């Protein structure tokens, strides 16, 4: 009886796939989707590690095109897999627009603090790492267009802010139902860690233009160990206090506003969720 039931269920699933246009293609894309974000992150890491390999930064135009193309490729995989449908895409655009407006009001922030990270952290925590990465990258891109912040630093910002959303998504993986106080505490901790991590990542770009001090500055052709030592001293001297404002600010924002934002996003997730149940075999 068990084998007959399993066979009937398998035929039922095959029948559903046969009747749903593109279901076979989507299942194949879904298998690729799990590897898309690690691949994107590996590419981004290569951009940031470039100066530690004895070379300067690559050309700004090439890096910008590379970053935009990589983010677009991730979005394409998510669309093909069915995890980024039109409704979630519309939500992504709306959240990015809100973030860009918030950053336009407080573009310089207080120290390293910026309000742009709240929705990125909450959105990634509720909707997953891939969605969080795309939300971070698109928020920064829209913000750059609104504030006129287009420059050679933009591709590094796209990756760095995208990783903030991805980290929140990894922290929230497997969490379902109504967000609790535990979720707020976890997300606040993620905000602290990513506040420092974002600053350190962006300092790689800043550091390559700082060559005044022989003990801190960057020079093309430096051995990797020496480059890492110089960068560590550069970060401690120039940025750790600045980044502390961001880390603490992220935690305060999440503690104060995280609960209602998480609840609202979780309700939207439930409404946007679409599932296809297999028919019960007769």
State the Cα–Cα distance between residues 202 and 186, nearest whole angstrom. 24
Confidence of residue 88 (pLDDT cuts 50, 70, 90): very high
- E strand or H helix at 59: none
Residue 13 in domain:
no
* Closest C-alpha to 53, from 235, 225, 236, 233: 225
In a domain, 249, yes or no: yes
Please report which confidence band the pLDDT of residue 31 belongs to, taking 50, 70 and 90 as the band edges.
low
The number of distinct structural domains making up the chain is 1
Structure tokens at 277: 């149940």
267 inside domain = yes
Residue 277 or residue 178, greater confidence: 178
Distance between start and end Cα atoms, the chain: 13
* Global confidence as pTM: 0.84
Q: Which residues span the domain enclosing 82? A: 23-272
Residue 166 covered by a domain = yes
Length of the chain (residues): 282
Is residue 68 scored above 80 in pLDDT?
yes
d(CA 106, CA 210): 27
Q: Which residue, among 117, 106, 111, 155, has the nearest Cα to 139 in the 3D structure?
A: 117
Are 133 and 114 a contacting pair, CB within 8 Å? no
280 domain residue, yes or no: no
User: What's the burial of 130, exposed, middle or buried (CB within 10 Å: 0-12/13-18/19+)?
Assistant: buried
* pLDDT of 241 over the 50 cut: yes
Contact 110, 249 (CB under 8 A): yes
pLDDT at 17: 37
Q: Is residue 155 part of a domain?
A: yes
**Mean pLDDT across the stretch 207-219?**
80
Average pLDDT of the chain?
83
- pLDDT of 73 > 70? The answer is yes
Q: How far is CA 226 from CA 51, 173, 209, 215, 221, in A?
A: 11, 38, 17, 10, 10
Among 118, 125, 123, 124, which Cα is nearest to 103's?
118
Q: What pLDDT was estimated at residue 8? A: 43
Q: Hey, what are 236's tokens? A: 């401690």
* Euclidean distance between CA atoms 233 and 239, whole angstroms: 10
Cα separation of 86 and 272, whole Å? 10
Q: What percent of the chain has pLDDT over 90?
A: 51
Q: What is the pLDDT of residue 71?
A: 93
Q: Which has the higher per-residue pLDDT, 3 or 35?
A: 35
Q: Does residue 279 lie in a domain region?
A: no
Q: What is the pLDDT of residues 127-160, one digit of tens each?
A: 999 999 999 999 999 999 888 778 889 999 999 9
């Amino acid at each position: 009886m068990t084998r007959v039931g399993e066979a009937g269920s398998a035929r039922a699933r095959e029948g559903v796939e046969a009747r749903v246009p593109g279901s076979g293609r989507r299942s194949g894309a879904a298998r690729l989707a799990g590897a898309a974000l690690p691949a994107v992150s590996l590419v981004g890491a290569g951009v940031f590690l470039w100066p530690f390999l004895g070379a300067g930064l690559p050309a700004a135009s090439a890096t910008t095109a590379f970053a935009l193309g990589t983010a677009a490729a991730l979005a394409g995989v998510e669309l093909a897999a069915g995890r980024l449908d039109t409704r979630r895409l519309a939500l992504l655009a709306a959240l990015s627009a809100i973030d860009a407006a918030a950053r336009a009001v407080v573009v310089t922030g207080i120290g390293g603090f910026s309000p742009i990270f709240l929705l990125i952290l909450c959105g990634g925590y509720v909707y997953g790492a891939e969605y969080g990465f795309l939300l971070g990258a698109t928020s920064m891109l829209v913000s750059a267009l609104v504030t006129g912040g287009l420059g050679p630093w933009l591709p590094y910002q796209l990756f760095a802010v995208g990783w903030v959303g991805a980290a929140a998504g990894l922290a929230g993986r497997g969490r379902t139902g109504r967000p609790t106080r535990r979720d707020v505490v976890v997300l606040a901790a993620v905000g602290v860690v990513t506040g420092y991590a974002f600053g350190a990542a962006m300092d790689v770009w800043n550091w390559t233009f700082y060559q005044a001090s022989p003990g801190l500055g960057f020079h093309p052709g430096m051995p990797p160990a020496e480059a890492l030592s110089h960068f560590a001293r550069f970060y401690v001297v120039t940025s750790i206090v600045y980044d502390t404002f961001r880390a603490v600010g992220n935690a305060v924002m999440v503690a104060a506003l995280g609960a209602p934002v998480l609840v609202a996003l979780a309700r939207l997730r439930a409404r946007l969720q679409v599932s296809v149940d297999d028919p019960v075999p007769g």
